[in-house]
C-alpha cells in the first residue's frame, strides 16, 4: 500500500461537478492499493497517517500530529501510484489491485481512519474521474509504502 500525504490548508474532490469530499485543513491522502495488501497494512498505515508529526507547534517546528490539531483527512484512491515506468513510455498497472480486492480495502481504510480520528473522513469516489483541488501547506509532502516499514 502506498500513500502520498500532503499537508493542506484546503482540499476538495469533485466528481461530475459535485463535491464528494472537502476539508479546510489537515491531510490530503492519495492511496494506492497493491494486490498483496492486507488488513494489517491498513492498520499500520492509518496509525502512521494520523500520528505523523508534520504540523507546526508554537515554535514553528513540526511536532504536532493531525489528532493534535484536530485536522481532517481527504482520502482518494489512486491506482496510478503503482505505475510501472521502467520500460517504454506507457505506464503499466499490473501491481495495482483490481476493484474486487481494492474496494473492500479502501473502505476498510476509511473505517480505520474514521475510528482513529473520531470523526468521518472525507473521500473521493472509487473509480470515478475525479478532479482534485488542494493548497499544499509548506509544501509538505510525505510518501509512505507499507512494504518499507523499517
- Residue in 80, 94, 123, 146 annotated catalytic: 80
Tell me which residue has cell 473502505: 107
CA distance to 24, 41, 138, per residue, from 2 (Å):
24, 10, 21
Within a 13 Å sphere around the CA of 139, how many CA atoms are in the beta-carbon half?
9
Ordered DSSP codes for 67-134: HHHT-EEEEEE-GGGG-B-SSSSS-B-TTBPPHHHHHHHHHHHHHHHHHHHTSPPEE--TTS--EEEE
Helix, strand or coil for residue 50?
A: helix
123 is catalytic: no
Catalytic residue positions? 80
Amino acid at each position: 500500500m502506498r500513500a502520498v500525504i500532503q499537508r493542506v490548508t484546503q482540499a476538495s474532490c469533485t466528481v461530475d461537478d459535485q463535491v464528494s469530499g472537502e476539508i479546510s485543513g489537515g491531510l490530503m491522502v492519495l492511496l494506492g492499493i497493491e494486490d498483496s495488501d492486507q488488513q494489517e497494512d491498513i492498520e499500520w498505515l492509518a496509525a502512521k497517517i494520523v500520528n505523523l508529526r508534520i504540523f507546526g507547534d508554537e515554535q514553528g517546528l513540526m511536532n504536532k500530529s493531525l489528532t493534535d490539531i484536530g485536522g481532517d483527512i481527504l482520502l482518494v484512491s489512486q491506482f496510478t501510484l503503482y505505475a510501472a515506468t521502467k520500460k517504454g513510455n506507457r505506464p503499466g498497472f499490473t501491481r495495482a489491485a483490481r476493484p474486487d480486492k481494492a474496494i473492500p480495502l479502501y473502505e476498510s481504510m476509511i473505517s480505520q481512519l474514521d475510528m482513529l480520528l473520531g470523526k468521518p473522513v472525507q473521500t473521493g469516489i472509487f473509480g470515478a474521474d475525479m478532479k482534485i483541488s488542494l493548497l499544499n501547506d509548506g509544501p509538505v509532502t510525505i510518501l509512505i509504502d507499507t512494504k518499507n516499514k523499517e
